[in-house]
């Protein structure tokens, strides 16, 4: 891996994780790790360009159909690809098809950029996701194999103690907080060969006071009503939170800090 690189462009491909949920900004939009990474890279490379094609809720088939072609055509220095996790969380999932589609995505993207970045997505521990964990780990084994065959960098977020900590996850228990996204940006930054700004991004934050039994029960009820039941409803009916939603930054354009664009 090149030390102190000077990449001039970044394209991010994926779903809600790469779109930036739930790193909420005051204007109601989402920032997220990819935007944070782009800001850091832009500070080192005048004229730096950035596109983020990610849309929440997208399955790997939709990512391949809608995002991979445009991303490959942009000719960026760096492309990040994170996808397939939404497939593993569906009631029915053909993991063979997921592997084939992910392979297709990597085979198309890797030759089109200087460096392809793949990830083992972070996974919060808990009973809701536990039944899907074997699928998730099968997906990550595929990611590792593809990276080895195509010279991609793998950022292991799944094995990071910090990103398994409940305090770094939003109330929906599916998306990272702003602090979680900051740590992901740091992990990708280091994986690309840039000098570390936080050597301890992977360490769990200091433990706070444990919540009371009543606080936990109230949070569980709110989570079930506001997030879990709607999420299950979408899974059962084949709907997605990203239906009809455009890409976050569909064109590879010069990156300007928020407020200057």
* Model confidence pLDDT, tens digit, residues 155-211: 999 989 899 888 898 877 688 999 999 999 999 999 999 999 999 999 987 766 565
Burial class, 251, CB count within 10 angstroms (exposed 0-12 / middle 13-18 / buried 19+): exposed
Question: Would 259 be classed as within a structural domain?
Answer: no
| Residue 208 in domain | yes
Please give the tally of structural domains in the chain: 1
- Would you state the structure tokens that stand for residue 213, as one six-digit string? 């039994």
Look-up of token digits 């090149």: 2
- What does pLDDT average to over the chain? 86
2: which 2 tokens? 């090149």
| C-alpha span between 51 and 110 (Å, rounded) | 17
Is 203 inside any structural domain? yes
Phi, psi angles (nearest 5°) of residue 231: -65, -45
Residues whose CB falls within 8 Å of the CB of residue 7, separated by 6 or more in sequence, listed in order: 41, 45, 48, 77, 78, 114, 115, 192
Instruction: Tell which wins on pLDDT, 126 or 70.
Output: 70
pTM of the model: 0.86
Which residues form the domain of 108? 9-254
Asked, for residue 240, whether it belongs to a domain, the answer is yes
Rg of the chain, C-alpha, whole Å: 18
Mean pLDDT for the stretch of residues 87-114: 95
120 inside domain: yes
Q: In what order do the strands lie in the sheet with 115-120?
A: 153-156, 115-120, 78-81, 9-13, 49-52, 249-254
What is the Cα–Cα distance from 20 to 23, expressed in whole angstroms? 6
Q: Is the pLDDT assigned to residue 259 strictly greater than 90?
A: no
- The strand pairing partners of 9, in sequence order, are 49
pLDDT bucket at 1, cuts 50 / 70 / 90: low
Measured at the alpha carbon of residue 247, what is the angle toward residues 260 and 136, in degrees to the nearest 5? 120
Residue 98 located in a structural domain: yes
Assigned domain for 4 exists:
no
In-domain check, residue 232: yes
Going by C-alpha positions, the residue among 83, 104, 102, 80 that lies closest to residue 154 is 80
pLDDT at 120: 95
The CATH number covering residue 107 comes to 3.40.50.1110
């Amino acid at each position: 891996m090149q030390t102190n690189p000077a990449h001039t462009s970044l394209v991010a491909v994926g779903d809600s994780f790469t779109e930036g949920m739930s790193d909420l900004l005051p204007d109601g939009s989402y920032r997220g790790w990819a935007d944070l990474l782009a800001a850091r890279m832009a500070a080192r490379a005048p004229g730096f360009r950035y596109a983020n094609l990610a849309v929440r809720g997208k399955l790997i088939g939709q990512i391949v159909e809608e995002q991979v072609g445009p991303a490959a055509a942009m000719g960026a220095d760096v492309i990040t690809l994170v996808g397939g996790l939404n497939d593993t969380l569906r009631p029915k999932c053909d993991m063979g098809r997921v592997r084939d589609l992910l392979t297709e995505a990597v085979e198309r993207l890797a030759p089109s950029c200087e460096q392809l970045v793949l990830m083992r997505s972070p996974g919060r521990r808990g009973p809701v996701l536990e039944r899907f964990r074997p699928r998730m780990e099968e997906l990550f084994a595929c990611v590792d194999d593809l990276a080895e065959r195509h010279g991609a960098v793998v950022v292991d977020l799944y094995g990071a103690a910090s990103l398994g900590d409940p305090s770094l996850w939003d109330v929906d228990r599916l998306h990272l907080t702003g602090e979680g996204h900051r740590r992901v940006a740091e992990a990708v930054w280091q994986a690309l060969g840039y000098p570390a700004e936080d050597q301890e991004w992977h360490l769990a934050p200091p433990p706070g006071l444990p919540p009371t039994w009543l606080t936990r029960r109230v949070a569980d009820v709110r989570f079930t009503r506001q997030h879990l039941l709607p999420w299950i409803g979408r899974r059962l009916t084949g709907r997605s939170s990203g239906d009809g939603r455009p890409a976050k930054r569909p064109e590879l354009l010069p990156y300007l800090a928020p407020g200057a664009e």
